[in-house]
Amino acid sequence: MKPFRYTSSDWFGKASAGLLLGFLLSLALGGLLARYGLGGVAPFSIQHQLTMWLVSPLLVIILSACFLFRSSAQAWLWLGGANVFAWVLLAL
């Protein structure tokens, strides 16, 4: 089996998947934390501020990790599937 070599090919597709789908996924993860992790969050509370400010670091982590996918199509599929899963959990 040939070892995988990291290259800079498909960086635009991976970055756009990380930006668009990563932003939506970080919003969904923040909502899941607010709803299930903190037991519901009242507006203008400390927990509300925590979940609001947690979206940016989550986006940075997802955007950084999107370059570990082998192709941009794989990044779009995995992040899209994670988005569907997170938003369905949030809607329940």
Domain count of the fold of the chain: 1
Query: Distances in Å between the alpha carbon of 39 and those of 6, 29, 31, 47, 48?
Result: 42, 14, 11, 10, 11
42, part of any domain: yes
Q: What six digits make up the tokens of 66?
A: 């999107």
pLDDT in tens, 51-64: 889 999 999 999 99
Other Cβ atoms within 10 Å of 65 Cβ, number: 15
39, part of any domain: yes
57, part of any domain: yes
Q: What is the pLDDT of residue 7?
A: 63
pTM above 0.75, yes or no: yes
The residue segments making up the domain with residue 35 are: 12-91
Flag whether pLDDT at 88 surpasses 90: yes
4, part of any domain: no
Task: Using alpha carbons, select from 77, 92, 79 the residue that is nearest to residue 32.
Answer: 92
